[in-house]
Amino acid sequence: MKFEKMRNIGIAAHIDAGKTTTSERILYYTGKSYKMGEVHEGTAVMDWMEEEQKRGITITAAATTCSWNDYQINLIDTPGHVDFTVEVERSLRVLDGAVCVFCGVGGVEAQSETVWRQADRYRVPRICFVNKMDRVGADYYKVVGEINERLGIAAVPIQMPIGNEQDFKGVIDLVRMKARIYQDEEDTTGKNFSDEDIPAEYMKEATKQREKMVEILAEHIDWLTEKFLEGKEITTEEIKRAIREGTIKLNFVPVLCGSAFKKKGVQLLLDAVCDYLPSPLDKEAIVGTNPKTNGEIVRKPLVEEPFSALAFKITSDKHGDLTFIRVYSGRLTSGSRVLNSGKDKKELVSRIYKMHAANREQVNDISAGEICAVVGLKDTVTGDTLCDLDNPIILEKMEFPETVISMAIEPKSDKEKEKLGMVLAKMAKEDPTFRTHMDKETGQMIISGMGELHLEVIKNRMLSEYNVDANVGAPKVSYRETIRKKVEVEGKFVQQTGGHGQYGHVWITLEPYAYAEGEDPVTFVDAIVGGKIPRQFVRSVEKGILDTSASGVAGGPPLINIKVTLIDGSTHPVDSSDLAFYTAACIALRKGVEMANSILLEPIMSIEITVPEQYMGDVISEIHSRRANIIEMGTKGNVRIIKGEVPLAEMFGYATTLRSITQGRGTYTMEPLEYRPAPAKTAGSVG
């Protein structure tokens, strides 16, 4: 397979926009599936987990490989629910392009914006597919407008719909100026269509939209600008070349339309994936770090380069852990040894598989630009770099959000204790946003995650998939603690024994500090001058500060938004040690937090509720009782949209309440926003 004919893409969107249905149609039309799976029937190939089929939602990113017009498409279908946003994050980190699916009625929704920001972070070129054009209330140009306004990028419609809602019959390709009309409404394959001249009643609008399209392209593509201004004829091939160039450079996004459920427009979407999204060769060479010198290394996406790959997902399997990797350079052969450069450990790749959701196809080798799964790795986790033994490189790691919710779990018998520990470790290795720790005060095992649904799915998997007999407590919010004023404090640890004693002595300042994205929640600054504390002991002080911050002082929640500066201290010529300075730092931090008027912070969520008009009053009244702050109310089609901010602690069981108020017709999405001071009543109960 030539690299220029390869596409590594993801399907991403807000929940219920039709990602998995679109993926299922792609598998059918590319010949990967002989029968189309349906999400609502629990038969979707890409939703292969029992929990996914039961709930009708995507929980884990599923990968597959298929072919279209001599192009190889490596496809990842990602979840839409915010609780599983890590699956989108790690998929976008390794993909070259993405198809963002929008509901023709709902348009740009809350999770659409989150996914878009994630794709921006990794500079992933995108094309947009406005789905569900057959639905009542679908409005193609309204969605295009929302992409422009809410996502802050120029949206270029390269298609327009023929008909709307129940009269949606096909699409007009504005690039080729041809109409694709689906002939038979009862057609169950979506293959019964014809490419025709544009119907007379649509010709005027199509000509106008094509002129608009070319105008936007000319604004962003220099070589096209001159031709456009001179009024010269612009060919179909030139338009396609301009769309591809601007898409890859993130100048704009092409927008297509269709109805995946009704099997309309998906083949043209596949054509657009091949025509406009980048191949591995179109992406910039990957930049990494030499672990020995910290110097910058550049690796081109070529087979001739030394092997380098990023592990982006771990899946536990009865035959051993499957590690999903994206190969950035070189070639990997089964049976070969590679280096986990971050951990400086050698790993054996015993087998290589190309994946098709839960099914696999064993191959002997894999080349630059490809995505596959390997078996045999022992120490590799999500975000680790694998590389050639003689040419080490560390690629940029992935950042994962902090957990916001936790619950206690305990085995029903001592016999189950060891089994529970193994299962929790396995699930934490699979999911970087699932954490476990032992509460020192209560002795309970605590599991933490991204939301109620996240922990519920994990709990159900433990009980059904792994047969762990355990009691699970009610969910608890993950609070944080910070300080209100600046203080200066001393920490001293002196211990005399028969031999060498222990001596550590530090002065630190604590002050409120808003950390930026990518920084540690607690920032440590070394302001020691004149070598009063040797360098190795400064590192111990930093470790003591950060460890204590993460575990909380006096059994409290973890600390955030604090800047700790080491300003002074003293040493003993014999008794000073790493342990002594580590302990002195812990003592100083605990004293300092107490002196600086600590305050409890609670997680605040951004919420978007969609309800029919008649339930608006009841929903607003109920959400106000949960300490919500309503920011905006609007209308989309025949439903009302309520946007606001609400403490996570107040939202447990809200899904059931909303269903009850709206007779099952209301929906909502939440995502973490920030931490804010908790009310005194909450602070007293947590403290």
At 457-506, the pLDDT tens digits run 888 778 777 788 777 776 678 889 999 999 999 999 998 766 678 899 99
pLDDT tier for residue 527 given thresholds of 50, 70 and 90: very high
Question: Which tens digit of pLDDT belongs to each residue from 314-346?
Answer: 887 666 678 888 999 999 999 999 999 988 999
Considering only CA atoms, which of 374, 385, 281 is closest in space to residue 333?
Answer: 374
In this prediction, residues 282-294 reach a mean pLDDT of 86
Percent of the chain residues past pLDDT 70, beyond the cut: 88
What is the per-residue pLDDT for 17? 78
Above pLDDT 90, what percent of the chain? 36
566 Cβ contact partners less than 8 Å away, ≥ 6 residues apart: 506, 507, 508, 524, 525, 526, 527, 528, 533, 538, 541, 542
Give the pLDDT score at 186. 64
Average the pLDDT over each of 182-186, 477-481, 611-615 and give the range with the smallest value: 182-186
Give the whole-angstrom CA distance, residue 65 versus residue 33: 11
Q: How far apart are alpha carbons 131 and 13 in whole angstroms? A: 11
As a whole number, the mean pLDDT across the chain is 84
- pLDDT above 90 for 84: no
Residues 349-378 pLDDT 10s: 999 988 776 677 888 999 888 888 899 888
Where residue 20 falls among pLDDT bands split at 50, 70, 90?
confident
Check residues 664 and 606 and name the one with the higher pLDDT: 606
Q: If you average pLDDT over each of 44-58, 568-582, 626-640, which comes out highest?
A: 568-582
Q: What integer is the mean pLDDT of 619-633?
A: 92
Per-residue pLDDT at 37 exceeds 50: no
pLDDT band at 150 (very low <50, low <70, confident <90, very high): confident
Question: Per-residue confidence at 440, pLDDT binned at 50, 70, 90?
Answer: low
* Residue 620: how many other CB atoms lie within 10 Å: 17
Average pLDDT of the segment spanning 21-27: 84
At residue 319, the pLDDT reads: 61
Q: How much is the average pLDDT of 416-439? A: 81
32 membership: H or E segment, kind and range = none
The DSSP bridge pattern shows strands 435-438 and 405-411 to be: unpaired
Which tokens belong to 405?
């919710």
Highest mean pLDDT of the ranges 37-41, 91-95, 399-403: 91-95
Average the pLDDT over each of 42-51, 62-71, 216-225, 621-630 and give the range with the smallest value: 42-51
The sign of the torsion formed by the CA atoms of 569, 573, 578, 582 equals negative
Name the amino acid, one letter, at 356.
H
Please check the confidence at residue 51 and state whether its pLDDT lies above 80. Answer: no
Does the pTM surpass 0.85? The reply is: no
In the predicted model, is pLDDT for residue 189 greater than 80?
A: no
- Residue-level pLDDT at 248: 94
